[in-house]
Structure 1
């Protein structure tokens, strides 16, 4: 019955409305994150912070990596009246806006600890909203729509980067801290408008809850949490996710401090990485969404991953002292463009590997591994690597890791005429 409702929902919702709904939700959850994680590294470096401190800022994204721990709760509990995942999104989005208003009232220059605590809380709410949004996306997107659906997701991230990491940097420079963060809070609430018109089909979870003791509830939670990795071939798939994103992410983490060391101002970096770069990411994401279905999952991961590796290697040019604006814009745009292509293909296969009945938990576990490779693992240590080996050393290590991940693609995603033990093609 639930499966029939999902298929009916996939057919009844107009593609244009799916586009509007998902783009608004994904943009809003990355809007404040882009502001804090793109503005803070630049601000701290300009204040003389070490590369080690800049690199460790990624640890504030810890809730994104650990969100798989409470994803089973999001899958299991929700409002039947207002919509299971819809209710989660409304509550977490509202709390996110309240946290932003609290951050706006702080003196950012004299209360760094309070600001970091606020950011950590904000990331926790955004991560929980992401669990519900991903599950909602898996349920409303038919398999053949997942390519462009994940193009929307990646484009939403990039749009959040433009607005939060580019435009808001300019606003911060002109209007100050309080006004900037309050504008962010307003944008987060505005993104809820399309969700108001969505009628989520009811899920029959009430009967499951009745008559279950504490021990059985804990057993059900652990089963939901661990059953994904117990499937054949899933551990190597999770290793692939980690390697596929780590190389480019550690390079991107150190690219902004490199621009500061090359003498670029906050406004110049905001234009280059926040607006122009994120614009390239939007184009790359949407282009990947169009190409994934005709290319196939495996070919997309290989082709886009190769482009990603080459773009990481190109960052060695400014690391060797090349300061030409044409070169700087070129390598910045190509790196973000290629990374958006690769990530969109990766997200699509992650959806394929998620079981519909446990959509939030399965996708979130994979997403947590993505975050581990994107922010917390080697990228968090990239400042120490740069301090020892220089910026070129970081970029070359990222290039090698990217190449290693490509070797794993045929082992985790089969060709269309094959029937691999894991995943879809």
Structure 2
């Protein structure tokens, strides 16, 4: 590969390299949320099944924080000989290509489960590639070129989503659906061949850790994850504004329905062709890119929390407008195969474009607000968790909206989404200036309060498990809510176990995570009893932690009035 340039050598080459690397992340994301959702709906797959599939696909992005220690510690032998992170990028992008090459062999919708599993694995490698690229960017970019390169990286991601979504929809008229996965794989393979293979990290950044047995490397990665958990635990509980940011990130940032699979499914049900959906996606992406810049500029000149509150209210308006238009035209339940009235299709276009214009405003200000409440001493750790929480909110929103569309119809789902999206405003006041005396004592109090709430929520599973059928249509959404509760409780127990050096807490956390397979567990002998015992035991441990003194929590360091330097998320 000596005839291809190493783009890491020069300023412009580095900018181009990271633009293209982020392009490879965006292409499969656009393919999944745009092309796949549209195609599955045309095949008659229900909204709940589509939402669950896409929510599962997004899940690996919520655990990006766990991949960093593995990438930092584990070497890859000859693959990593020109740089550890370059080796991981080469490996992960190669696996992304391989998983895509298998997709055309599957029959949809008959093999939807296997199709979703392959896309899950693909996104797992995609999330790991993202972490490796971010690490390479932090080490390779000079201080005076990071902001420009960060802008190009996010631009590359949006361009990739445009190519994988709208681009694939345009091509589907000539290629059909099956060959499109090969098109996506080819695009990633070209970037791997032209950019990653000839890449050589600088000697200072490519220096590898001393050779050590793989078991020792895995142990080192485990120690890094434990350190991460302790730092994150202290950072989020150590100040009121960081704790507010934790709750703000866990909720949907705003109304999300017109940026997820619901938009693609509704477009199909209204009778839009793939070409129409592609043009709509292209216009939406361009509006989002423009308003991203505008939102960032505005939020730098006015109070960021007030700006975000206004943006969150604004983005609910087109969602409410579309819900009203659907109600007026009697378009309530999902029903593909009939053509909607011209007035309703026009309302759909107006609502979608207005939504993406407002969505860009939020995107431009959200990351800056998270940086404002991040403690500089643990910036990378804390910011990574903020970004992971936003990905988790995207995943569970995709799932609940798919369920709600089947149970309640489009107008009610849009109404609930608009109102639920406004709930995040409640936590914006907590993300103001650091209060005097907000240190160790209050950190311990927050830990006790959070443990108490999570413990009681785990125990609430018992009546739901036995009497949830009486909720009717709400039972499936209740199941999703408890899935989120079990994840939150497990993460709390993992962090507390690392901080207090108690392995029993880690085991309880693992058991709570396994509750995601409760349908399979219930089918086993003694499964129903086990489904009661795990939340009961986990809740008991959390309630005991609510009485813990938490003396190990360090006082929160004063938060600098200067924003931390933006690095790729």
User: Which TM-score band (shorter chain)?
Assistant: 0.7 to 0.9
Aligned mates of 1:179, 1:308 — CA distance in 2 = 36
SS at match of 1:206: coil
SS at match of 1:245: coil
Aligned mates of 2:371, 2:135 — CA distance in 1 = 9
Whose radius of gyration is greater, 1 or 2? 2
The aligned counterpart of 1:179 is 179
Q: How does 1:71-90 map to 2 (within 5 A)?
A: 71-78=68-75, 81-90=81-90
Displacement of 1:91:
1.6
Provide closer, same or farther for how the CA distance between residues 255 and 144 of structure 1 changes in structure 2, counting only shifts above 3 A: farther
Displacement of 1:128:
0.7
Displacement of 1:269:
1.9
**After superposition, what is the alpha-carbon deviation per residue over 1:319-376, rounded to whole angstroms, capped at 9, x for unaligned?**
33375344322211121232233123323444663868884x544432221111112x
The aligned counterpart of 2:205 is 202
Provide closer, same or farther for how the CA distance between residues 132 and 225 of structure 1 changes in structure 2, counting only shifts above 3 A: farther
Displacement of 1:63:
1.5
Provide closer, same or farther for how the CA distance between residues 208 and 421 of structure 1 changes in structure 2, counting only shifts above 3 A: farther
Displacement of 1:136:
3.8
- Tell me the TM-score normalized by structure 2: 0.62
**After superposition, what is the alpha-carbon deviation per residue over 1:223-274, rounded to whole angstroms, capped at 9, x for unaligned?**
22342232124443122112243632577442222222222223322221x3
Displacement of 1:92:
0.7
The aligned counterpart of 2:450 is none
The aligned counterpart of 1:396 is 415
The aligned counterpart of 1:257 is 265
- Which one of the candidate residues 377, 384, 388 is aligned to 2:403? 384
Displacement of 1:120:
1.5
- Whether the 8 Å contact between 2:245 and 2:370 is mirrored in structure 1 is no
Displacement of 1:378:
3.4
SS at match of 2:232: coil
Provide closer, same or farther for how the CA distance between residues 422 and 226 of structure 1 changes in structure 2, counting only shifts above 3 A: farther
Give the gaps of 5 or more residues in structure 1: 1-11
Displacement of 1:132:
1.8
- Whether the 8 Å contact between 1:161 and 1:275 is mirrored in structure 2 is no
**After superposition, what is the alpha-carbon deviation per residue over 1:98-120, rounded to whole angstroms, capped at 9, x for unaligned?**
22122234444554333222212
Provide closer, same or farther for how the CA distance between residues 102 and 44 of structure 1 changes in structure 2, counting only shifts above 3 A: closer
Aligned mates of 2:144, 2:316 — CA distance in 1 = 28
The aligned counterpart of 1:156 is 156
**After superposition, what is the alpha-carbon deviation per residue over 1:136-171, rounded to whole angstroms, capped at 9, x for unaligned?**
445566899777655444433332222111111121
- Whether the 8 Å contact between 1:245 and 1:370 is mirrored in structure 2 is yes
- Which one of the candidate residues 240, 248, 252 is aligned to 2:256? 248
Answer with 199-208 or 167-176: which moved more: 199-208
Aligned mates of 2:150, 2:212 — CA distance in 1 = 33
- Whether the 8 Å contact between 1:312 and 1:399 is mirrored in structure 2 is yes
- Whether the 8 Å contact between 2:68 and 2:131 is mirrored in structure 1 is yes
- Which one of the candidate residues 43, 59, 72 is aligned to 1:62? 59
SS at match of 2:82: coil
The aligned counterpart of 2:439 is none
Q: Is residue 346 from structure 1 mapped to residue 366 from structure 2 by the alignment?
A: yes
Q: Is residue 94 from structure 1 mapped to residue 94 from structure 2 by the alignment?
A: yes
Displacement of 1:77:
3.5
Aligned mates of 2:418, 2:161 — CA distance in 1 = 24
Aligned mates of 1:296, 1:19 — CA distance in 2 = 31
Aligned mates of 1:379, 1:41 — CA distance in 2 = 11
Give the gaps of 5 or more residues in structure 2: 1-8, 330-340, 435-556, 564-569
The aligned counterpart of 2:128 is 128
Provide closer, same or farther for how the CA distance between residues 124 and 422 of structure 1 changes in structure 2, counting only shifts above 3 A: farther
Aligned mates of 1:208, 1:293 — CA distance in 2 = 46
The aligned counterpart of 1:227 is 231
The aligned counterpart of 1:118 is 118
- Whether the 8 Å contact between 1:289 and 1:344 is mirrored in structure 2 is yes
- Whether the 8 Å contact between 1:316 and 1:391 is mirrored in structure 2 is yes
Aligned mates of 1:21, 1:164 — CA distance in 2 = 19
Provide closer, same or farther for how the CA distance between residues 216 and 102 of structure 1 changes in structure 2, counting only shifts above 3 A: closer
Aligned mates of 2:405, 2:35 — CA distance in 1 = 20
Q: How does 1:345-364 map to 2 (within 5 A)?
A: 345-350=365-370, 353=374, 359=380, 362-364=382-384
- Tell me the TM-score normalized by structure 1: 0.80
Aligned mates of 2:561, 2:101 — CA distance in 1 = 42
RMSD (Å), alpha carbons: 3.7
Provide closer, same or farther for how the CA distance between residues 422 and 172 of structure 1 changes in structure 2, counting only shifts above 3 A: farther
What is the total number of aligned residue pairs between the two structures? 407
Q: Which has the higher contact order (CA 8 A, sep 6+)?
A: 1
Answer with 124-133 or 30-39: which moved more: 30-39
Provide closer, same or farther for how the CA distance between residues 382 and 334 of structure 1 changes in structure 2, counting only shifts above 3 A: same
